[in-house]
Chain A
Amino acid sequence: MKHRLQFAGKKLIRMLLLLLGVSLAAFLLMNASPLDPLETNIGQAALGSMSQEQIAGLQEYWGMDTPPVERYLGWLSDFVRGDMGTSLLYRQPVAQIIGQRLASSLWLMAFAWLFSGILGLILGVTAGATRGRWPDKLIRGYCLLISSTPAFWLAILLLMVFSVWLGILPIGLSVPIGMDAAGVTLADRLRHAVLPALTLSITGVANIALHTREKMADIMESDYLLFARARGESGRSILLRHGLRNVALPAITLQFASISEIIGGSVLVEQVFSYPGLGQAAVTAGLGSDLPLLLGITVVTAAMVFGGNLAADLLYGAVDPRIRRRAAKR
């Protein structure tokens, strides 16, 4: 048990260092931006009519006169104490905004993550086991088509079919327009989340299924499988005892690596459906040069990605006895 903890501890420290790196990189990139936050948010015409003092006040508000080193260290020391700063656009604490946005995004992402993972595994294993025949061709064709389709266009397409043409699902947002917050039911929220979640799941399946198929095809070519066939094992037992067991490790890697893609997809999908989630906040913050908010979102999403990698690393040991033993020897 001790070496497991040590392993996890090492990974955790590496993850924290990487997070520090992410925050620094994101800060440097935003700081290097030649875009003037005053011009993008206030407009040249309005700026021209302002007095020098007003402009100076605004520049101070947007943090333009603070040296970058001081600004980053200030942000970092606040962050370590749990304060992520205040959003310049929303004028609310960043932690609060991220909390609210994440709560509505997490629904979508969790559903899409589980659904695309499970369906992708099933499709990938089926395609790999029947490679060269029609189920494989069908699944592969579907996956290639979907991986060539931009997520946002798929979202627009679904929106056109289900919301505009058939009119059975709402066009956007996460709650009905003009309704009291207290009157919103769970059914309303679900109805608004159906299309974004569906888009995310459809796009997520392709990658997982294609990679699982490759692994499964390799396994089907292997000597142990040939031997199992020669022994007269049935197709079902081959699939369960050799196929699924050996495909489990890459499947875990894929499943947890897809977190990053799902977050990326949610940025686009939320923008199309005007769904008030984390992705939409990231776009707003980016377009409006809201440094504290975009920095906060970047760090939080990167933490989710690294957390996923860590979970995958820890799960390997739990799933595969060989890795467990090797770790114990060290």
Chain B
Amino acid sequence: MKKDWNRRKSAAVLFSACAFVLCAVTAAGLLLSDYAMETDFTQKNLSPSLSHLFGTDWMGRDMLARTLTGLSLSIRIGLLTALVSCVLALLLGTAAATLGRRVDACISWCVDLFLGIPHILLVMLLSLAFGKGLAGVVAGVSLSHWPALARVVRAEVFQLRQAPYLLAAEKLGVSRFAVARRHLLPHLLAQFLTGLILQFPHAILHEASITFLGFGLSPEQPAVGIILSESMRYLTTGKWWLALFPGLSLVLVVLLFARMGERLRQMGNPASVHQ
């Protein structure tokens, strides 16, 4: 029994466990979203207890429900933005590597340009351009994360094109489309998936940061960034639970995503099959 338990299997189990927890948080947040908005002024400013594990805020809202709702929102936004930015990176990276020198120079220049503006400033500018709010956050985070990954994809495709089996396929007269589908795509897909999952933590952190600064979701929405920026006003009066638990939960969610990406990389790497 013990012999069957290799690293790939434990990676798969851990991956599923992480995925399950994250799905549970997302679902719980969706179910609790109404309860999270409920105000009860007889229950305001309570420190954590058994009936309110994370305490309550100055309007008597349960912080656990608010945190879960916020995390659920963050995870969904993170999924969407990571997906959009990864697809962008894949398209632009492949385009740069295959469509000739002019296109390459143009896209590489754009990548340099985007990487030159400090990330949080770029997200701010993009969010402003889309009028803040949900649209601003989604656009800001998804349109600012592609450059680094696009550069990786570009280098990868460049390297692939010099691979003997691709050169042979070209000489054999296989069409460009077939080469892309049968040789490039399977190779890039694994990288793409890993890149996608590793993009989540960044996306979620930037979503929270930009909302915290006031460029993202509006104050009525129970986002983690909003919860934390509101908690700032009550810090000096000793309401530590308003900031501690929501932040800690955010860190946990991001850590889970980071671990998931790492496990997936382990499973996707053919060289580690026998470990």
Would A264 and B121 be within 8 Å (CB), given that A149-B251, A150-B209, A156-B232 are in contact?
yes
A271 contact set on B, CB distance < 8 A: 212-213
* B223 part of interface (Cβ distance < 8 Å): no
Least CB distance, B52 to chain A, in whole angstroms: 20
Indicate if A108 sits at the interface (CB-CB under 8 A): no
Chain B contact residues, majority secondary structure: helix
- Is residue B119 contacting chain A, with contact meaning CB distance below 8 A? yes
Q: Contact: A301 with B118, CB < 8 Å?
A: yes
Residue of B124, B126, B235, B255 with highest tally of chain A CB at under 10 A: B124
Say what secondary structure dominates the interface of chain A: helix
Q: What's the minimum C-beta distance from A34 to chain B, rounded to whole angstroms?
A: 4
B121 and A18 contacting across the interface, CB-CB below 8 Å: no
Chain B count of residues within 8 A CB distance of the other chain: 41
Query: Does B240 count as interface, using CB distance less than 8 angstroms?
Result: yes
Query: Chain A nearest CB: distance from B149 CB in Å?
Result: 16
A9 contacts chain B at the CB level, 8 A cutoff: no
In the complex formed, the residue of A with least CB distance to B123 is A264
Does A35 touch B at the CB level, under 8 Å? yes
Which has the most chain A C-beta neighbours within 10 Å: B121, B129, B235, B251? B121
CA distance A282 to B250 in the complex (A): 25
Instruction: Say yes or no: A261 contacts B258, CB within 8 Å.
Output: no
Interface flag for A148 (CB, 8 Å): yes
Write out the residue numbers on chain B whose beta carbons fall within 8 Å of the beta carbon of A150. Answer: 205, 208-209, 212, 247, 250-251
Give CA–CA (A152, B231) in the complex, Å: 12
B22-56: CB near A (< 8 Å → 1, else 0) gives 00000000000000000000000000000000000
Q: Which residues of A contact B258 (CB under 8 A)?
A: 144, 147-148
Asked whether B129 lies within 8 Å of A267 as measured between CB atoms, the reply is no
Task: Say if the beta carbon of B193 comes within 8 Å of chain A.
Answer: no
> Which of chain A's residues has its CB closest to B131's CB?
A34
Q: Within 8 Å of chain A (Cβ to Cβ): is B188?
A: no
- The residue that B113 contacts in the complex, of A22, A33, A144, A264, with Cβ under 8 A, is A22
User: B102-129: which have CB < 8 Å to A?
Assistant: 109, 112-113, 115-121, 124-126, 128-129
Say yes or no: is B214 at the interface (Cβ < 8 Å to chain A): yes
Report yes or no: A260 in contact with B131, Cβ–Cβ below 8 A.
no
* Contact (Cβ within 8 A) A301 B208: no
Residues of chain B lying within 8 A (CB to CB) of residue A264:
118-121
**CB nearest neighbor in A for B243:** A156
Contact of B129 among A30, A165, A268, A306 (CB under 8 A): A30
* Cα(A33)–Cα(B232), bound, Å: 28
Task: Give the interface residue-count category, chain A.
Answer: 35 or more
Query: Given the complex, which residues of A lie within 8 Å of B115, measured CB to CB?
Result: 260, 305
Partner of A302, one of B117, B129, B208, B213: B117
Decide: A268 near B213, CB < 8 A? Known: A22-B113, A26-B125.
yes
Most B-side CB within 10 Å, residue of A32, A152, A265:
A152
Given the known inter-chain contacts A21-B109, A268-B213, A298-B125, please indicate yes or no for A153 contacting B251, CB distance below 8 A.
Answer: yes
Q: Give the shortest distance, in Å, between B234 (CB) and chain A (any CB).
A: 10
Question: Which residues does chain A contribute within 8 Å of B209, judged by CB atoms?
Answer: 150-152, 268
Once the chains bind, are A160 and B243 in contact (CB under 8 Å)? yes
Closest B-chain residue to A309, C-beta based? B116
CA distance A22 to B231 in the complex (A): 35
> Which residue of the partner chain, among A152, A165, A265, A302, contacts B116 with CB atoms under 8 Å?
A302
Q: How far is the CA of A149 from the CA of B125 in the complex (A)?
A: 23
Residue A74 at the B interface, CB < 8 A?
Answer: no
Q: Are B131 and A33 in contact (CB under 8 A)?
A: yes
B128 touches A29 (CB 8 A): yes
Q: Are A301 and B109 in contact (CB under 8 A)?
A: no
A35 x B131 contact (CB < 8 A): yes
Are A26 and B119 in contact, CB atoms less than 8 angstroms apart? no
Contact A301:B126 (CB < 8 A) given known A22-B113, A148-B255, A171-B236: no
The residue on A at minimum CB distance from B113 is A21
Is A145 in contact with chain B by the CB < 8 A criterion?
A: yes
Q: How far is the CA of A164 from the CA of B235 in the complex (A)?
A: 7
* B250 neighbours in A (Cβ, 8 Å): 150, 153
- Contact pick for A260, options B118, B125, B208, B243, CB 8 Å: B118
Q: Answer whether residue A63 sits at the interface, using C-beta atoms and an 8 A cutoff.
A: no
Interchain CB contact under 8 A, B243 and A267: no
- Residues of chain A within 8 A (CB-CB) of B212 are 150, 152, 268, 271
Say whether A254 faces chain B, with CB atoms less than 8 Å apart: no
What 0/1 readout, one digit per residue, does chain A (286-326) give for beta carbons within 8 Å of chain B? Answer: 11010000100110011001100000000000000000000
Which residues of A come within 8 Å of B, CB atoms? Answer: 18-19, 21-22, 25-26, 28-30, 32-35, 144-145, 147-153, 156-157, 159-160, 164-165, 171, 260-261, 263-265, 267-268, 271-272, 282-283, 286-287, 289, 294, 297-298, 301-302, 305-306
In the A-B complex, the 3 residue pairs with the smallest Cβ-Cβ separation, listed nearest first, are A153-B247, A148-B254, A264-B120
Using a CB–CB cutoff of 8 Å, the interface residues on chain B facing chain A are 109, 112-113, 115-121, 124-126, 128-132, 201, 205, 208-209, 212-215, 228, 231-232, 235-236, 238, 240, 243-244, 247, 250-251, 254-255, 258
Ordered by A's residue number, 24 sampled pairs between the chains whose C-beta atoms are within 8 Å are A29-B126, A30-B128, A33-B130, A144-B255, A147-B201, A147-B258, A148-B255, A148-B258, A150-B250, A153-B250, A156-B228, A157-B244, A157-B247, A160-B235, A160-B240, A164-B238, A261-B118, A264-B120, A267-B213, A271-B212, A283-B213, A302-B116, A302-B117, A305-B116
